[in-house]
Structures are given as structure tokens and as C-alpha cells.
Amino acid sequence: MNIVPPFKLYELVFANGVSASPYVWRTRLALAHKKLTCTSVPLGFTEIPRALGGRFKTLPVIEDQGHEVGDSWQIATYLERSYSGRPPLFCGPAEEAMVRLFDAWFGPEVMRRMMRIYVFDIFQAARPEDRAYFRESREKRLGATLEACHAERAAHLPGLREALEPLRRQLARGVFLGGAAPNYGDYIALGAFRWIASVASVPPLACGDALLPWIERGFALYEGAARDPRLHPLSG
Ligand SMILES: N[C@@H](CCC(=O)N[C@@H](CS)C(=O)NCC(=O)O)C(=O)O
């Protein structure tokens, strides 16, 4: 394997320095899967427009020897094409298409529910200078105040748990969503749990949820890349 200089990973962080984005976590795990190293460039929400010459509106962005790529899906396909000699994120175009379909389901069915339940926790974890922007943009998107979402969160937990049922069924057939080894679909879902674990004031899963051993295995990958003693419990 050729030696590749560390990538730069522009990532979103909370006030305590914890990485704050499900999309960044997909990318971080994809880089580790490809055995590519990175150095982090931490940014707050309100720093994104000024960073990188204003060329990107969201994170993650990676820089590979001067070449910048934004959007987690574009990054995954860039890594796959540019580093095809390294462990594949998708075993061919058909698997890539199926993971893309999984992503199209996972965003609205799972991540949108997570956002509504945890938006106030995310707001409180954000850097103080990012909070006004976060509140305004998210309240507009959700059509409700952060406090109203917070007040209703217990009522939304059963819906989230139920929406995760296809993952449980798939994990009854293999240790990862990708089968015997993780693929990019695992990183999409694990990234969302890593994001939630960094803020959750109420656990998303019940004790003994069949997803927990997979989450444990996923966070342990690549020498515990997703582990952090500051994380909140995901079950309870
Ligand atoms: N489609 C993008 C979405 C990335 C995204 O939405 N990132 C959020 C953080 S989770 C962001 O940078 N938001 C900036 C903002 O809200 O201004 C991707 O897959 O990378």
C-alpha cells in the first residue's frame, strides 16, 4: 500500500470539542476503513461560511494533497475511486447503489426523527457563538421551537425505535449491516448513533436492544475510533 499523506478533515465540533456531525462520522469511519489517516480541522457552525474560501456550506470537507471534496457521499465515492487498491467501501456498483438506497431511507426515517428528539440537546452542546444561528435555522426547518421539540421528545422515542426495526432484522443475519464485515451502510448508521451519543440526555434505545452489540462492535472498529469517555448512554 502506497504511503499517503494525512488528509485534512474539516469537521463540526461542539463546545467541548466533540465531533458533532453524523456525516463527519461516516467520513471518518470511511477513511479508517480505507486505512487513510487524517488531521482534524475543527469548526463551529458559524465558521463554515468563512472557512475554505466560502466554497462549502456544510461539513464534512476533506482535503487530499490540496484537492478538496465536500459532501459525505461525494467523499465516499472519491475515496473508492481514488484509492481502489485499498479495502472497498462497496463491493462493486450494485452494492454502492443499494447503500445509496439505504441512505435515502435512513435520512428521512431515522435521522430526521433523531434530529427532532435531540435538537435541544444539540443546541445546548453547540458552542455559545453558534447557538443563535443553530436555533434560527433548525426552528425554521422543523417548524417548531427547540423547546417544543424537547417537551415532546418522549412521545417520539417509540417511533424512532420502531423505525430502526429493519436494522435489527438485517443484523440478525450478520454481524454488520454489510454482512461479515462493515460496509459504508454501517458507517452511515453508526455515524448517526455516534452523533446522538455525543448529546443524548435521554437514551434512544431500550435496555437490551438488539442493536447495542452492533453499535459496540462498530464503535470499537479501527482501534476504537468512535469511542469517547464523554459519550452519553445509548440505552437505558
Ligand atoms: N449532504 C451533506 C450534508 C452535511 C450536513 O448537513 N452537515 C451539517 C452538519 S451535520 C452542516 O455542516 N451544517 C451546517 C449548517 O447547518 O450550517 C453531506 O452528506 O455531507
Q: What is the largest CA-CA distance in the chain?
A: 52
Residues touching ligand 1 (Cβ under 6 Å) are 12, 21-23, 45, 48, 58-60, 71-73, 137
Residue 51 has a pLDDT of: 93
Confidence of residue 110 (pLDDT cuts 50, 70, 90): very high
Q: Is 8 helix (H, G, I), strand (E, B) or coil?
A: strand
With the most atoms of ligand 1 within 8 angstroms of its CB, the residue from 23, 26, 114, 196 to mutate is: 23
DSSP string, 40-78: EEEE-GGGTTTGGGG--SSS-EEEETTEEEESHHHHHHH
What tens digit of pLDDT does each residue of 134-172 get? 999 999 999 999 999 999 999 999 999 999 999 999 999
DSSP-derived pairing of the beta strands 67-70 and 38-43: unpaired
Q: How many CB atoms lie within 10 A of CB 220?
A: 12
Confidence of residue 1 (pLDDT cuts 50, 70, 90): confident
What tens digit of pLDDT does each residue of 165-213 get? 999 999 999 999 999 999 999 999 999 999 999 999 999 999 999 999 9
Question: Ligand 1 centre from 58 Cα, in Å?
Answer: 4
- Between the CA of residue 174 and those of 4, 46, 76, 96, 222, what are the distances in Å? 32, 41, 23, 18, 19
User: Percent of the chain at pLDDT above 70?
Assistant: 100
Q: How far apart are CA 25 and CA 195, in angstroms?
A: 8
C-alpha grid cell, residue 122? 444539540
Atom 14 of ligand 1, residue of closest alpha carbon: 58
Q: How far apart are CA 48 and CA 56, in angstroms?
A: 7
Question: Ligand 1 centre from 45 Cα, in Å?
Answer: 9
Q: How many CB atoms lie within 10 A of CB 2?
A: 6
